[in-house]
Structure 1
């Protein structure tokens, strides 16, 4: 299954799982946002983190979402993206 297909089926689960780990505003970027994903693609998620959110929370959310969707999840915050790439990525972000 392509990540874009898994996303359509599991949007609510993704939002709920992010909230469980103190993350909010999940958005998709990368090949899924561009409409070029394949069955070998991953799902790139950008989230906002809470004050007490740690890298362990990001990893936990990625693992739980990936297990449910059956695709690899790359999860990050905007500050984790190279500054030189931020404008390009921000231009294609799609809310989950």
Structure 2
């Protein structure tokens, strides 16, 4: 039996737009910077969702990321804002960062369907 994300991952890789491939390369090139930003704001388990995760990003797509925030790190909104700005600076591209804890159930389930580890 294949892992649950296996088919989505391989379908995404084989049907990936050029824009998606370029954004994923950029993410890979700046991975250490992104890890440092996550550490600075007490976040972990970053996952891509949306068009970059599905492989259908266009030139107008942003990079959508879900993170888990560690307990006791301060204001959720300030931390998410800091992560968003840190990612934008590192990637030189629009980024939206959300916390899995604050997403509405309907949005969370849709996002998690697409989610792939960053």
With structure 2 as the length reference, what TM-score do the two structures score?
Answer: 0.72
Q: Work out the CA distance in 1 between the residues paired with 2:110 and 2:78.
A: 27
- Residues 1-96 of structure 1 aligned to structure 2 (within 5 Å): 2-53=22-73, 54=75, 55-96=77-118
CA RMSD for the aligned pairs? 1.7
Determine which structure has more spread, i.e. the larger CA radius of gyration: 2
CA offset digits 1:41-79 (Å, max 9, x no partner): 111110010122321111111101101211111011113
Q: Gaps (5+ residues) in structure 1?
A: none
The number of equivalent residue pairs is 96
Structure 1: 4+ residue segments shifted above 3 A? none
CA offset digits 1:19-59 (Å, max 9, x no partner): 11111111110110000112321111100101223211111
The answer to whether the Cα contact below 8 Å between 2:68 and 2:101 also exists between their aligned partners in 1 is no
Compared with structure 1, are the counterparts of its residues 40 and 5 closer, same or farther at alpha carbon in structure 2 (3 Å cutoff)? farther
Greater relative contact order (Cα 8 A, min sep 6): structure 1 or 2? Answer: 1
Q: Gaps (5+ residues) in structure 2?
A: 1-18
Q: Work out the CA distance in 2 between the residues paired with 1:79 and 1:57.
A: 13
The answer to whether the Cα contact below 8 Å between 1:3 and 1:39 also exists between their aligned partners in 2 is no
The answer to whether the Cα contact below 8 Å between 2:34 and 2:86 also exists between their aligned partners in 1 is no
